[in-house]
Structure 1
Amino acid sequence: MHIERVDPLDLDLDTADALAEVFTASERADGPDLPVRTGPDLLTALQLGSDSRPVTALWVARDGDRVVAQATADLPWRDNTDRADVHVRVHPDVRGRGVGGDLWRTALSFVDGAGRSRLHSGAWVGSPGVAVLERWGLTRTSRGVIRRLDVHATPRSTWDRLYVEALGHAGDYELLRQVGRTPADRVEAMVELHASMNDAPRSDADDEPDRWDAQRLGDYEGAMAGRRQTLYRVMARHRGTGEWAGQSMLAFNEFSPSSAFQEDTTVVRAHRGHRLGLLMKATMLAWITEERPELATVDTWNDATNHHMIAINERLGSTVVATRQGFRADR
């Protein structure tokens, strides 16, 4: 086995294809039925992340010429600068040979050198990774749950009915749609809508709020565009005051056009209690399935404590496909 650190910006498509195969084989072995990861998808994710910056550090393990494992360490830089997120994936063919532990120790040495005191990772519930992370000295934090909506198996009448129900409580609001980047005259409002997500349930009480500004919004939207993740937004605005009240975002994966991922859905605190979350999400599903008929599934991630949003997703037809156990260690 040979481990080398690779600059994500120097990553070639052949290596990215091999890493995607490791990623997919690892998840298949661990239980989650998640969309197959492609090389271009993984390559752009490693190079652009969610803020137009590459993942901080990437290590690749090879058995001869074959790529068999990877590790990443990501160091937040805008906020939460005491935190590091480390993830290791090993192809099931070579598990039990120590390569995962070698990658983990390599990443930890990097994290310690960067002076980060909070280490975070995770593993799929029901997989060997849970016991491995506990053996490596991490403690369990909260859980994140992925639910999937099969848009072909869910009757369109479900979303129409829920839309009418929600509209009965939200007559003072209008809905607007947006595809792609935010126009200049809407940037300030969009920054506020993103910032309103900060009071959603969090997996770590020590996490600082995300500080949103125009630069961060531009970096996020630029990263998603570069990753070929087309952003669809449904936004709510109060008719009387013109105040922006909420948004729901969906990322359509152009590399795998049968799948999409639900990004943030948030309602500004002053406008809660009008079923805007349900209204926006029902509107989104009716829109996206008409706009992109090739779409088959929409996956969404919720903190297990976010009972309000979970209830909305389940009413829309989503069911659990995977649960991620979070872990933390203080260095």
Structure 2
Amino acid sequence: MTTFDVTIHRNLGTPDTPSRTAREAAALWVKSDEDSYGFADLVPTPEFMATFTSDEAAARGVLITAVGTNGELAGFILTALPVRDNTDRMHLESRVRPGLEKGEVLRQMWPELKRLATEEGRDKFTWLEPATLEGGEIAPETGTGAVRRTSCTDLLGEHGFELSQIEIIYSIDVDEALTSVAGTRTDEGYHTESWVGATPERFMDGLVVLRTSMSVDIPQGDQQTEVEQWDSERIRRADRRAAEAGRVMLRTVAVDKRTGELAGYTELRHSAAGGEAAEQSDTHVAEEHRGHGLGLAMKHANLVQLAETSPHIRRILTSNASENSWMRAINERLGGRAVAAQGIWEASVEA
């Protein structure tokens, strides 16, 4: 059996000068996602990974790597450690070089992962794992969908992880989406406003409320999470972090004409360095404003903004919980095609 040198990295350089480890991890991530998904549009850049390990606004990143005797990176586990809320939780994602047995590589990293969790005082774990669309033997707590058994899922099971939820990844063609919802009108009681980059101060208080409610209002399977504590400074820091990492942020909000309060928001992001894909992040409508078609109206307005400001972006990738029929229906209305899936696994203490 091949033995790997396992190392914990708490610093991956700066956005201007990402470390060699950050560059190698990003390159491996591309190869792994192309092998698993057939595309690599969601892979973080080395600049983002460097920013992530120094973030104190929301979640600080730590990277665990496994390097072979030939000096080649064999795999990694990227951990996200919330710093303001859910501070007992650790979010995890891993990639292994295609051709290697993923479970065996991860098994050698596991002792260092446990040591990191102990040092950081974390006893709740969320693991995001690529899956296939075809289904399999392991069903989540939600009862919607199933994933195939692999050496990685076997390892997760050994350490007390259970499949909580499955997310479906959609690919949306920008031109097709704009055509399919051309003529969409916002409910007469609301209007939309869009911008690129930092959040305007006039929307700050409203976004604090929406981001806070968003953190617990989306389908989360069997996950037990605290309400995220958002304030205006956290939003400003998140905006600065995105800019430093070379991410372009495009947002649209729905505004209640009667009260002036924000009823919802949606967010797209893409790399400033180029590429043809953007990622759909949050879309959230406050409970008291639902039933007015605001989700679709905001997405349409943001698509128009994307086409005007970033015409090189040809497609959007987004993921939704398999049981979130409302959002899945919107994505399908936009012409979205299911292209991949990922399982969300949960564990407490025993990991």
> Deviations 1:163-222 (Å, cap 9, x if unpaired)?
14xx3xx01111111211123333212212222313222234411111211122122212
Tell me which residue corresponds to 1:147.
170
- TM-score where L is the length of structure 2: 0.84
Tell me which residue corresponds to 2:180.
158
Identity of aligned residues (%): 26
Whole-angstrom distance in 1 between the partners of 2:335 and 2:126 = 31
Secondary structure of the equivalent of 1:246?
strand
The 1:229/1:100 distance shift into structure 2, 3 A limit, reads same
- Match for 2:52: what amino acid? L
Secondary structure of the equivalent of 2:224?
coil
More deviation, 254-263/122-131 = 122-131
Q: 1:40 aligns with which of 22, 41, 46?
A: 46
- Match for 2:57: what amino acid? D
The 1:48/1:260 distance shift into structure 2, 3 A limit, reads farther
The 1:7/1:243 distance shift into structure 2, 3 A limit, reads closer
The 1:155/1:262 distance shift into structure 2, 3 A limit, reads closer
Q: Describe how 1:189-228 pairs up with structure 2 within 5 A.
A: 189-197=206-214, 198-228=216-246
Aligned-residue offset at 1:47:
3.3
Aligned-residue offset at 1:52:
6.7
Secondary structure of the equivalent of 1:61?
strand
The 1:31/1:183 distance shift into structure 2, 3 A limit, reads closer
Aligned-residue offset at 1:101:
0.7
**Mind listing any 5+ residue stretches in structure 1 that lack a counterpart?**
none
Tell me which residue corresponds to 1:94.
100
Aligned-residue offset at 1:91:
0.7
Q: Describe how 1:237-276 pairs up with structure 2 within 5 A.
A: 237-276=255-294
The alignment yields a C-alpha RMSD, in angstroms, of: 2.4
- Is residue 86–residue 107 contact of structure 1 (8 Å, CA) maintained in 2? no
- Is residue 12–residue 21 contact of structure 2 (8 Å, CA) maintained in 1? no
Tell me which residue corresponds to 1:124.
130
- TM-score where L is the length of structure 1: 0.88
Q: 1:175 aligns with which of 192, 195, 202?
A: 192
The 1:74/1:60 distance shift into structure 2, 3 A limit, reads same
- Match for 1:190: what amino acid? L
Secondary structure of the equivalent of 1:288?
helix
Tell me which residue corresponds to 1:324.
342
- Match for 2:6: what amino acid? I
Tell me which residue corresponds to 2:144.
none
Tell me which residue corresponds to 2:141.
none
1:26 matched to 2:27: no
- Match for 2:168: what amino acid? V
The 1:54/1:292 distance shift into structure 2, 3 A limit, reads same
- Is residue 6–residue 112 contact of structure 2 (8 Å, CA) maintained in 1? no
> Deviations 1:294-319 (Å, cap 9, x if unpaired)?
00111112122221111111101111
**Mind listing any 5+ residue stretches in structure 2 that lack a counterpart?**
133-147
- Is residue 13–residue 50 contact of structure 2 (8 Å, CA) maintained in 1? no
Whole-angstrom distance in 1 between the partners of 2:120 and 2:153 = 26
More deviation, 313-322/82-91 = 82-91
- Match for 2:262: what amino acid? W
The 1:74/1:243 distance shift into structure 2, 3 A limit, reads closer
Whole-angstrom distance in 1 between the partners of 2:131 and 2:56 = 25
Q: 1:308 aligns with which of 294, 305, 326?
A: 326
Segments ≥4 residues shifted beyond 6 Å? none
The 1:159/1:236 distance shift into structure 2, 3 A limit, reads same
More deviation, 189-198/264-273 = 189-198
- Is residue 20–residue 37 contact of structure 1 (8 Å, CA) maintained in 2? yes
Tell me which residue corresponds to 2:67.
62
Whole-angstrom distance in 2 between the partners of 1:264 and 1:73 = 21
Secondary structure of the equivalent of 1:93?
coil
Tell me which residue corresponds to 1:2.
5
The 1:49/1:21 distance shift into structure 2, 3 A limit, reads same
More deviation, 62-71/30-39 = 30-39
Aligned-residue offset at 1:284:
1.4
More deviation, 13-22/318-327 = 13-22
Secondary structure of the equivalent of 2:164?
strand
In terms of fraction of residues, the more helix-rich structure is 1
- Match for 1:59: what amino acid? I
Secondary structure of the equivalent of 1:298?
strand
The 1:31/1:247 distance shift into structure 2, 3 A limit, reads closer
Aligned-residue offset at 1:261:
0.8
Tell me which residue corresponds to 2:83.
77
Tell me which residue corresponds to 2:145.
none
- Match for 2:5: what amino acid? H
